[in-house]
A and B are shown apart, each in its own frame.
Chain A
Amino acid sequence: MSEAPLLLEARDVAKRFDSVVALKAASLQVRPGEVHGLMGSNGAGKSTLVKIITGVYPADGGQIFVKGAVRSFRSPAEARRAGIVSVYQDPALVPDLTITQNMGLAGAPVDAVRKWLAELGVARLDFSLLVRDLPDPTLRLIDLARALAWEPAVLLLDEITASLPADLSEQIYAMVKRWRERGNAVIFISHRMAEVSALCDRATVLRDGVTAGVTERAQGSEERIVALMLGAETARAVASAPSTRATRQRADDAQPALEVRGLRCAPQVNDVSFKLYPGEVLGIAALEGQGQEELFDCIAGSRRFDEGAIVARGKELRLRHPADAIAAGIVLVPANRLVALLQQRPIPENIALPAFGRIRNWGPIRIREERTRVASAIGRLQIDTRAGSELRRLSGGNQQKVVIARWLASGFDILLCFDPTRGIDIGTKRQIYALVREIAAAGSAVLLFTSELPEIPLACDRAVVLFGGRVVAEMPVSEADEATLLRSAHGLAPSVEASS
């Protein structure tokens, strides 16, 4: 169908893990000089396909062609020698080693990695730092720079932007375009429709391990892509779902569910104050590293702060351990799901975990009660439990859902959500925001950070913008369009004093 010879082709690839069929017949054709979107719901098989193409797993069926010749790689190193390199969904760096050691381990040319990091906007990075001490987004950029250093003809990016804030995502887009201009191909996986349609030339959609369709132009075919991803029926239901957001009238004398006063946690958080009312969803917008992560950690009790106060329902809290926050009804969905999950344990144990913080629950477990609680949380988030006997076998998005499900099952007053839709597909994203609204409507309060600014109006009542560890703007959601948020987040807008 195309005159250009294909750089990479996957034909009817199949893969099963014991009883779980991850791929049935996945096909993918990638031409030189294109950015090819690979789309699909959580658990559709995208990451599995990437891992088969790059030799992490052997395929059970089907073939991989590179420049027309059948190839089957036994390891990522072999794929690399054929010019195929992937940045995987989870960081592939050893936490206890320095960056230099990590590069050595992978056999990556350190100088080239340094050069590409500079091109990505990270000019001065100390390569003798331990990986565990670096923030998540930096790790993603190191992963990418390492991949680029091998100068791959086909670069696969598995949800690289999922954990990146807007400004860093821009860097990635620019780099992807540059790579395309050199006549290489990029396979781009993302759940963010906007960036896919802006960036990709064509897109392949996987559904339940089968290639459901290919769109010749990604731009303008968003609806078709969603329909292919979800199946026409579900797509229509998602599209016609009413926007659940309804800003609630709040009595002026209402007591805040949570009040943060003059919080300081050097050096990242410098002066943060805000109020969060029951029944409200307050959005936090910020670029990377403006103190938002530390702010959430302080409120959740997993980081000590230097000055200021955190007050819940009129009572100042002494937060020395996450257990203190949880006892006060404050729970956290953290930025990095890997720190919150038990990878070797089944889904139910992951969801039921917080119950055992109380000593009186150390005795015999009421299995039946636990089962119903867990099942209802799984149902509300529609977690794909087929591979649920060990958490690490779940797809990335489904793991993320488990973190949220845990708190639904155990209950809370105040939900701190740090990027809760990271790596979650379009259909589920809507469900999660609907769920957030539902939680607020039931009287709880939600503090929500999202790295995708356009999502703030979808779920929030009010937005607060952080810059340099300070609140620089606060606005009702009606004014919080992407451009305004972005300007404030860069510290550009005239500082608006808290207006409510």
Chain B
Amino acid sequence: MSEPSKTIFSRVVVGITGSGFVSLLRTRTIVALILLLLALVAGIQLARPGTVNAIWISNMMLFAAPLGIVAAGQTLVMLTGGIDLSVASVATASAYLMATHSGLGVALAILYGLGVGFVVGLINGTGVALLRVQPLVMTLGTGLMTEGMLVVYSQKKIGEAPRVPQFIEDLGAGKFLGGIPNDLIVWVPIAIILIFVLRRTGFGRLLYAIGDNSKACTLAGIRVWRILLLNYVTCGILAAVAGLIIVGGTDSAELRLAEVYLLPSVAAVIIGGTSIFGGRGGYSGTIVGALILTVLNSILTLLDVPESVRQILYGAIILLLAAAYTRLTE
């Protein structure tokens, strides 16, 4: 039924990217994405010679980490065919709550932050897994509610003013060994664990299986709701972790702190080759997706491109890659 649109669409893609790239994307997604990333880096070096050096690379990693972590949770959810639109609000709320409790000591303050992720994740999971609300609707709702409650909280809060502890600041902005960003200490283990979980554990298998055909999972004796619940909670906590790193980088807990991460978190997943219908993809693609978006952002900032153009470019890249991926499902 979708045949004509498919061929026209994929022809456009082939025309722009070359059929070699599309088939590479198909057989070795990661290699193709890394090539794309390198091409962007080369582009930046051509446009502004001398930009690409050790410091620049280190900065890219520093900026990519929070996006990579939000997108980690997003990957988990999108693999099951869902989506989590509350991640940005959760990240913001986590940062804010942590900052207003910094008087209690940094450990407890962090727990407050992560607690937000846990609670919102639990609500999302309950809605999606048990009450069968559409993930998009559910997480949009909880996202807006989190945002609203945070505003109320910030207005009512007379006592402690938000303050970002030194530890968090170091985590989000510092570097060690002459240039390795501290936030990689969080991101790298998360990445390793996630890739392992998705490839080599029963939980990972089930995420793909549910994304492919959740009815089949039920028939095979799997209580799907348990996996979904755990999955949304994990996504919420990852978003909360990212919030802490983001606020460490900016050093001020604002009410719209993480808003800009919402769409990139979804975009990184799609660019990385995870299907929005679930059932195929993985985290390694998302990592490269996050790096591509970060580098792209850096190019556009460097070239002083206006925000509108930036958005158009973002959209175009997502469309092109998404179209290229649809060829894979032929």
What is the CA–CA distance of A363 and B208 in the complex, to the nearest angstrom? Answer: 15
Complex contacts, B143 vs chain A, CB 8 Å: none
Say yes or no: A302 contacts B218, CB within 8 Å.
yes
Say yes or no: B221 contacts A323, CB within 8 Å.
yes
Say yes or no: B200 contacts A367, CB within 8 Å.
yes
A4 at the interface (CB under 8 A from B): no
Complex contacts, B206 vs chain A, CB 8 Å: 356, 362
- Size of chain B's interface in residues, with CB distance under 8 A? 24
Complex contacts, B132 vs chain A, CB 8 Å: none
What is the CA–CA distance of A341 and B226 in the complex, to the nearest angstrom? Answer: 20
What is the CA–CA distance of A340 and B201 in the complex, to the nearest angstrom? Answer: 21
Could you tell me the distance in whole angstroms from the C-beta of A114 to the nearest C-beta in chain B? 22
Say yes or no: B219 contacts A349, CB within 8 Å.
no
What is the CA–CA distance of A363 and B3 in the complex, to the nearest angstrom? Answer: 41
A109 at the interface (CB under 8 A from B): no
Of B99-107, B209-217, B238-246, which stretch is located at the interface?
B209-217
Complex contacts, B215 vs chain A, CB 8 Å: 339
Please encode chain A, from 312 to 333, with 1 for each CB lying within 8 Å of some chain B CB and 0 for all others. 0000000001110111000010
- Of the four ranges (under 10, 10 to 19, 20 to 34, 35 or more), the interface on chain A belongs to 35 or more
Complex contacts, A75 vs chain B, CB 8 Å: 3
B185 at the interface (CB under 8 A from A): no
Could you tell me the distance in whole angstroms from the C-beta of B130 to the nearest C-beta in chain A? 13
Say yes or no: A332 contacts B219, CB within 8 Å.
yes
Q: Which residue of B lies closest to A75 (CB)?
A: B3
A359 at the interface (CB under 8 A from B): yes
Complex contacts, A69 vs chain B, CB 8 Å: none
Say yes or no: B219 contacts A334, CB within 8 Å.
yes
B157 at the interface (CB under 8 A from A): no
Complex contacts, A355 vs chain B, CB 8 Å: 202
State which of B1, B205, B221 has its C-beta within 8 Å of the C-beta of A105: B1
State which of B205, B218, B223 has its C-beta within 8 Å of the C-beta of A365: B205
B222 at the interface (CB under 8 A from A): yes
B220 at the interface (CB under 8 A from A): yes
State which of B202, B208, B216 has its C-beta within 8 Å of the C-beta of A339: B216
Say yes or no: B220 contacts A354, CB within 8 Å.
yes
Please encode chain A, from 335 to 353, with 1 for each CB lying within 8 Å of some chain B CB and 0 for all others. 0000111111100010011
Complex contacts, B208 vs chain A, CB 8 Å: 342, 345, 349
Could you tell me the distance in whole angstroms from the C-beta of B229 to the nearest C-beta in chain A? 12
Most chain A beta-carbon neighbours within 10 Å: one of B3, B200, B222: B222
Please encode chain A, from 394 to 420, with 1 for each CB lying within 8 Å of some chain B CB and 0 for all others. 000000000000100000000000000
Q: Which residue of A lies closest to B218 (CB)?
A: A322
State which of B205, B212, B222 has its C-beta within 8 Å of the C-beta of A343: B212
B203 at the interface (CB under 8 A from A): yes
Could you tell me the distance in whole angstroms from the C-beta of A482 to the nearest C-beta in chain B? 31
Say yes or no: A365 contacts B200, CB within 8 Å.
yes
What is the CA–CA distance of A361 and B219 in the complex, to the nearest angstrom? Answer: 17
B280 at the interface (CB under 8 A from A): yes
Say yes or no: B223 contacts A341, CB within 8 Å.
no
Say yes or no: B216 contacts A361, CB within 8 Å.
no
Complex contacts, B217 vs chain A, CB 8 Å: 353
Complex contacts, A339 vs chain B, CB 8 Å: 213, 215-216, 219
Please encode chain A, from 232 to 275, with 1 for each CB lying within 8 Å of some chain B CB and 0 for all others. 00000000000000000000000000000000000000000000
Assuming the A-B contacts A349-B209, A362-B201, are A322 and B279 also in contact, with contact meaning beta carbons closer than 8 angstroms in the complex? no
State which of B3, B205, B222 has its C-beta within 8 Å of the C-beta of A323: B222
Most chain B beta-carbon neighbours within 10 Å: one of A325, A334, A361: A361
Say yes or no: A340 contacts B223, CB within 8 Å.
no
A94 at the interface (CB under 8 A from B): yes
State which of A105, A322, A356, A363 has its C-beta within 8 Å of the C-beta of B219: A322
Assuming the A-B contacts A344-B212, A345-B208, A345-B279, are A364 and B200 also in contact, with contact meaning beta carbons closer than 8 angstroms in the complex? yes
Say yes or no: A353 contacts B220, CB within 8 Å.
yes
Could you tell me the distance in whole angstroms from the C-beta of B142 to the nearest C-beta in chain A? 25
Complex contacts, B223 vs chain A, CB 8 Å: 321, 323, 357
Q: Which residue of B lies closest to A337 (CB)?
A: B216
Could you tell me the distance in whole angstroms from the C-beta of B202 to the nearest C-beta in chain A? 4
Please encode chain B, from 290 to 302, with 1 for each CB lying within 8 Å of some chain A CB and 0 for all others. 0000000000000
Could you tell me the distance in whole angstroms from the C-beta of B81 to the nearest C-beta in chain A? 11
What is the CA–CA distance of A341 and B209 in the complex, to the nearest angstrom? Answer: 9
What is the CA–CA distance of A365 and B199 in the complex, to the nearest angstrom? Answer: 9
Say yes or no: B279 contacts A361, CB within 8 Å.
no
Q: Which residue of A lies closest to B223 (CB)?
A: A323
What is the CA–CA distance of A332 and B220 in the complex, to the nearest angstrom? Answer: 9
Could you tell me the distance in whole angstroms from the C-beta of A22 to the nearest C-beta in chain B? 15
Additional 10 contacts, C-beta under 8 A, given A326-B221, A349-B208, A364-B200: A75-B3, A322-B221, A339-B216, A340-B216, A343-B212, A343-B213, A344-B279, A356-B205, A357-B220, A364-B201
6 A–B contact pairs at CB < 8 A? A321-B218, A334-B219, A356-B206, A357-B221, A365-B200, A367-B200
